[in-house]
Amino acid sequence: MLVEVLNRNFPTPLPNNALINEDSTATNWKISWLPDGFELLKSDRHKLDLNNELTDYYLFSDGFVEVSVFIQRPLPG
């Protein structure tokens, strides 16, 4: 499996300052409710490979189940 990962072409990581001047309207998300036991493990903002759109990513877990949430602005059409 490591050899397979080594031979894949992954997107180049963005530098830390690459998103500073981007539209920041998606940063106002606030999670107001989670099921009992769930907590935020990780969150970040990155561009999707598929359409190069900014996406906010959140990973929640209760220690047994992990749930990933991706939020992006609506695409035209």
Question: pLDDT averaged over consecutive 10-residue blocks of the chain (77 residues)?
Answer: 82 63 55 88 85 86 92 78
Q: pLDDT value at position 54?
A: 84
Q: Does 77 map to a domain?
A: yes
The Cα–Cα gap between 21 and 10 comes to 24
Best CA proximity match to 45, nearest among 75, 16, 9: 16
Closest CA to 73 of 13, 11, 18, 28: 28
Q: How many domains does the chain have?
A: 1
Residue 61 burial (C-beta neighbours within 10 Å; 0-12, 13-18, 19+)? middle
Domain assignment present for 46: yes
Domain membership flag for residue 20: no
14 and 38 Cβ atoms separated by less than 8 Å: no
> What range does the domain containing 64 cover?
34-77
Does 61 reside within a domain?
yes
